[in-house]
Structure 1
Amino acid sequence: MNISLLKKVCEIAGAPGFEKRIRDLVLEELQGLADEVSVDNLGNVLAIKKSKKSEKNKKVMVAAHMDEIGFIVTHIEEGGFLRFHTLGGFDPKTLTAQRVIVHGKKDLVGVMGSKPIHVMSSEEKTKLPKTTDFFIDMGMSKSEVEMHIKVGDPITRDRELIEMGDCVNCKSIDNRVAVFILIETLRQLKDPAYDVYATFTVQEEVGLRGANVAAHSINPDFGIALDTTIAYDVPGAAAHEKITELGKGTAIKIMDAMTICDYRMVAFMKQTATQHHIPWQAEILTAGGTDTAGVQRMGKQGSIAGAISIPTRHLHQVIEMAHKADIQASIDLLKVCLEKMDQYDWQH
């Protein structure tokens, strides 16, 4: 597995609406991997790999979002402290004691600060934190900060990728691992059954905005989304709460809160994984959603859509963890699905 590429993809900045750095990296990696590469007005990257079977003119859209949860500067306080708004979903307690990078005229490191526990009241000590309880300390005066940072600058979290046993751990495994999977699949994919529209989408974390636009433009017959999903296989988790487990294979989505996957795509993926000895597990995610919803619904006639999900612990934290074998199984399943899609009876 190309860990050095995965490391680059996971660590690079790309908050929703500010995906340029990750987009540039994706465009660089796509050189020679597709027949056509373009960027739409919203910033989605579209890489088309044509089928050599000329009579097969159907389209398969595969979506992986490039953005990561982040923040945006809303105010510069006296003392040089920054106030911010979230871009994407955060559990406020995960902000404590974190380093961030503010992307102004140059990148500057800041730290998430809040009221010290030593001066909190008894009530404050027991209540759950809110994002508004936090500020970003730049270690500079207001005048120094204003030389480099302005209201509207994006902020991302600072954490490098490391290998831990058979796993990788980093901020933004969600969803950079899917970006990596889609690039690596394109590298290996030689003869797809139908034309493949590999789409690296923007602004998923704030409402699937890129996928909606891309699916409307592509109007796919089939759709596959790639994204992380919850692996709640930790102490205290009841068996029915786990969703998925690390090391048990790629996950085939059945539903999430925004999508009921097409029963035909679910059956096709299960059959394909089983026939090719690719380990898999079923995923039912009762909260949250992914680009699957946009891929499924925003084309003119909708698409026969499903999703390949990567089990991930500690989602939307800076310590997201995925298993290398599950990542590889996701690449394997996506590749063989794209090669064998024309051999399945989609009418039943």
Structure 2
Amino acid sequence: MKTEIELKELVVGLSGLMSVSGRETFEQKKLLSLVGGFFDEQYADDVGNQVFVRYSGRAGAPKILIDTHFDEVGMYVAEIKEGGFLSFVNIGGLDTRILGAAEVIIYGDRQIYGVIASTPPHLQKPKDAEKPGEIYEFLIDTGYTKEELESFVRVGTPVGFLPKYTDLVGGSIAGKSFDDKACAACAVYAIAGVPKDELCGDVYLLLSAFEETRRVGGAAAGTYRVEPDYAMVVDVCHARVPDTSRGETTAFGGGPAITHSPATDRRLTKMTAELAGEKGIKYQFTVSSPGTGTNSPAVGLARAGVPVVDVGLPMKNMHTYNEIICIEDCIETSKLISAFVSSGRIAGEFRHEKI
């Protein structure tokens, strides 16, 4: 089993994989090469969920689920047009205001580069300049002819933003698909770093499918199969920037955000916060009503119910090709996950006797 890993390298490595909703296993071989060696077992299901397991070796050990969805927002090709242009539909929530001139990769029989066409201000009609375009109005310029494209691109071919990452001053990093693969990296880093004899249960890392397109998503099926005793869902949350509501955002660089919500377990939430305090882990609280906007409700309602705590990684520019996260927040999030799967107090409180 691998034992050494760099968190930032893992964040970029996982986020750079193409996993537009419905295509979560597209680069499964690369995923396995990055993280498979840190786990005892791995499997994928028919939904597209990918599960990685570390066993504690303890008889009757509880099952601890860590969920981080693996799908990303993106596009599918809708039509191949004359002049080497592609029309597309959005997969997940995309803000059309940021699409013009975006760089993309078309994942056909061979991968090619493209740029979403942008109308210069000089050519825009006044009424068009005042409103964002509709998704069906956008085209991807590839430089190929229609006939050339038809030989390796088809309707339904996935399209993702160009995986390009930039370090910013102050320990931040910008790039595509940190939602939610940065959290997946935090979880891998955390689980891999805990010695086997310190694990307080068998740990199941669920890289769940199509969270971006369906609120129930693949997490419901994945959780049902694992049948965990308790769970933590880790997803990104909105970081505070000027002119945003304080009540709906979290402090960038303030550590992971533990969520108060009707969809989460109050005892597990309280004990997770107490654990962070005991371990000196930086954290903050956020509140979400009525749900969480994450997989927590789906996980919590699987089978007869699963106690779940929801943890958020602060992010700026969500659902763009330049999402921004703070590496220090990633480190603190990893520390919290490590403490969570090593907590004898939590395991003792939430372990269920198997019938």
TM-score normalised over the length of structure 2: 0.90
Give CA-to-partner distance per residue, 1:38-67, whole Å, 9 cap, x none: 1212222212222333243x2221111111
The amino acid of 1:204's aligned partner reads E
Whether the 8 Å contact between 1:66 and 1:200 is mirrored in structure 2 is yes
SS of the aligned residue for 1:315 comes to coil
Q: How does 1:16-95 map to 2 (within 5 A)?
A: 16-56=21-61, 58-95=62-99
Whether the 8 Å contact between 1:101 and 1:157 is mirrored in structure 2 is yes
Q: How far does residue 70 in structure 1 lie from its aligned partner after superposition?
A: 0.7
- Inter-partner Cα distance in structure 2 for 1:240 and 1:42: 35
Q: How far does residue 80 in structure 1 lie from its aligned partner after superposition?
A: 2.2
In structure 2, the residue matched to 1:254 is 260
- Inter-partner Cα distance in structure 2 for 1:234 and 1:309: 16
The amino acid of 1:15's aligned partner reads V
In structure 1, the residue matched to 2:126 is 122
- Inter-partner Cα distance in structure 1 for 2:13 and 2:35: 14
- What is the percentage of aligned positions where both structures have the same residue? 25
- Inter-partner Cα distance in structure 2 for 1:336 and 1:172: 26
Further displaced range: 73-82 or 121-130: 121-130
The amino acid of 2:269's aligned partner reads V
In structure 1, the residue matched to 2:201 is 194
- Inter-partner Cα distance in structure 2 for 1:34 and 1:147: 40
2:177 to 163, 172, 182: 172
Whether the 8 Å contact between 2:99 and 2:116 is mirrored in structure 1 is yes
Q: How far does residue 21 in structure 1 lie from its aligned partner after superposition?
A: 4.2
Evaluate the alpha carbon distance shift between residue 121 and residue 29 of structure 1 in structure 2; reply closer, same or farther with a 3 A threshold: closer
> Does the alignment pair 1:336 with 2:339?
yes
Whether the 8 Å contact between 1:23 and 1:66 is mirrored in structure 2 is no
Whether the 8 Å contact between 1:219 and 1:301 is mirrored in structure 2 is no
Q: How far does residue 215 in structure 1 lie from its aligned partner after superposition?
A: 1.0
- Inter-partner Cα distance in structure 1 for 2:95 and 2:17: 22
Give CA-to-partner distance per residue, 1:280-304, whole Å, 9 cap, x none: 0112245861122221112x11100
> Does the alignment pair 1:223 with 2:226?
no
Q: How far does residue 240 in structure 1 lie from its aligned partner after superposition?
A: 3.3
- Inter-partner Cα distance in structure 2 for 1:81 and 1:285: 42
The amino acid of 1:170's aligned partner reads G
Evaluate the alpha carbon distance shift between residue 289 and residue 250 of structure 1 in structure 2; reply closer, same or farther with a 3 A threshold: same
Q: How far does residue 23 in structure 1 lie from its aligned partner after superposition?
A: 3.0
In structure 2, the residue matched to 1:309 is 312
Whether the 8 Å contact between 2:55 and 2:201 is mirrored in structure 1 is yes
- Inter-partner Cα distance in structure 1 for 2:168 and 2:123: 37
Further displaced range: 314-323 or 278-287: 278-287
In structure 2, the residue matched to 1:279 is 282
Further displaced range: 73-82 or 322-331: 73-82
SS of the aligned residue for 1:184 comes to helix
Whether the 8 Å contact between 2:7 and 2:185 is mirrored in structure 1 is no
SS of the aligned residue for 1:6 comes to helix
- Inter-partner Cα distance in structure 2 for 1:24 and 1:42: 18
1:206 to 201, 207, 213: 213
Evaluate the alpha carbon distance shift between residue 4 and residue 54 of structure 1 in structure 2; reply closer, same or farther with a 3 A threshold: same
Q: How far does residue 119 in structure 1 lie from its aligned partner after superposition?
A: 3.1
Q: How does 1:102-181 map to 2 (within 5 A)?
A: 102-165=106-169, 166-181=171-186
1:266 to 266, 269, 277: 269
SS of the aligned residue for 1:132 comes to helix
TM-score normalised over the length of structure 1: 0.91
In structure 2, the residue matched to 1:234 is 241
Q: How far does residue 209 in structure 1 lie from its aligned partner after superposition?
A: 2.2
Whether the 8 Å contact between 2:13 and 2:34 is mirrored in structure 1 is no
Whether the 8 Å contact between 1:65 and 1:200 is mirrored in structure 2 is yes
Q: How far does residue 341 in structure 1 lie from its aligned partner after superposition?
A: 4.7
* Gap regions ≥5 residues in structure 2: 1-5
- Inter-partner Cα distance in structure 1 for 2:220 and 2:118: 37
SS of the aligned residue for 2:318 comes to coil
Whether the 8 Å contact between 1:74 and 1:152 is mirrored in structure 2 is yes
SS of the aligned residue for 1:214 comes to helix
Evaluate the alpha carbon distance shift between residue 307 and residue 61 of structure 1 in structure 2; reply closer, same or farther with a 3 A threshold: same
Whether the 8 Å contact between 2:7 and 2:186 is mirrored in structure 1 is no
Whether the 8 Å contact between 2:92 and 2:212 is mirrored in structure 1 is yes
- Inter-partner Cα distance in structure 2 for 1:19 and 1:266: 30
- Inter-partner Cα distance in structure 1 for 2:236 and 2:95: 17
- Inter-partner Cα distance in structure 1 for 2:57 and 2:100: 53
- Inter-partner Cα distance in structure 2 for 1:88 and 1:77: 23
In structure 1, the residue matched to 2:325 is 322
Further displaced range: 201-210 or 72-81: 201-210
The amino acid of 1:201's aligned partner reads S
- Inter-partner Cα distance in structure 1 for 2:175 and 2:205: 24
